[in-house]
Amino acid sequence: FDERGTDSVMVVPRVLVRRRNGRAWLTVIADRPVTADDLALPRVTPGDGRVGRVRYVGTTAAEIGWIDAVDRAVRRIRAGDAEKVVLARDRVVYSHVPFDAATLLRRLRASYPSCLVFHVAGLVGASPELLVRRHGARVTSLVLAGTAARGGDATADARLGDALLRSAKDL
């Protein structure tokens, strides 16, 4: 994260509930012994499931530019210049009925079961990878994955950070 920036925020949940195939896991992240209060989940009132008629406005990426980016990526992989390329584009939609994030997340989970579904800072989506935005020459990211474990002390943390900065994969 850019220490000078104001948009870089990492949210570590105190309580994380994961469900898959009829099983559930509860993870509590705390710097003190866990109490019953830590396990009390907030009451969530789901929306009514209505989405309304969704209208597609388009994408911020021109179609021909997207096709060209995919073509270049395939050529680089075939030439051995890259092993993996992650491309993404947005789809801008609207509806006269307000979107309910819980309904959208359920639908995304059903449609993309191997992806991470997320709702962060008003952005709702499903992605197996890091999300980035480019505006002119400036690139910013909303980090949802791709972390490294902490070291035992500040020196170890610095060493791990330096290794990330030299890693072709992580860069």
**pLDDT score at 75:** 95
Look up residue 26 and give its DSSP letter: E
116 φ, ψ to 5°? -85, 120
Q: Predicted confidence band at 145 (pLDDT cuts at 50, 70, 90)?
A: very low
Look up residue 120 and give its DSSP letter.
Answer: E
**pLDDT of amino acid 79:** 95
**How far apart (Å, rounded) are the C-alpha atoms in residues 96 and 47?**
15
CB 89 within 8 A of CB 56: no
Catalytic option among 3, 63, 83, 84: 84
The 10s digit of each residue's pLDDT in 44-93 is 566 666 667 888 887 777 788 889 999 999 999 999 998 888 787 777 88
What pLDDT does residue 68 have? 93
Predicted TM-score (pTM) of this structure: 0.42
What residues are paired with 140 via a beta bridge? 133
Give the model confidence (pLDDT) of 95-137 as tens digits: 888 888 788 888 888 898 877 777 766 678 887 765 556 677 8
Burial of 125 (0-12, 13-18, 19+ CB in 10 A): buried
Secondary structure of residue 139 in the 3-state scheme: strand
- Coil/strand/helix, residue 98: coil
Distance between CA atoms of residues 150 and 153, nearest Å: 8
* pLDDT of res. 44: 58
What per-residue confidence (pLDDT) applies to 7? Answer: 57
Compute the distance between CA of residue 37 and CA of residue 25 in angstroms, rounded to an integer.
Answer: 17
Predicted pLDDT at 169: 66
**Does pLDDT of 17 surpass 50?**
yes
169 is catalytic: no
Q: What angle do CA 28, 33, 35 make, to 5 degrees?
A: 70
Tell me how far CA of residue 111 lies from CA of 118, 123, 127, 138, in angstroms.
14, 17, 12, 32
pLDDT of residue 159: 87
The active-site residue, picked from 3, 63, 83, 129, is 129
Pair 3, 12: CB distance under 8 Å: no
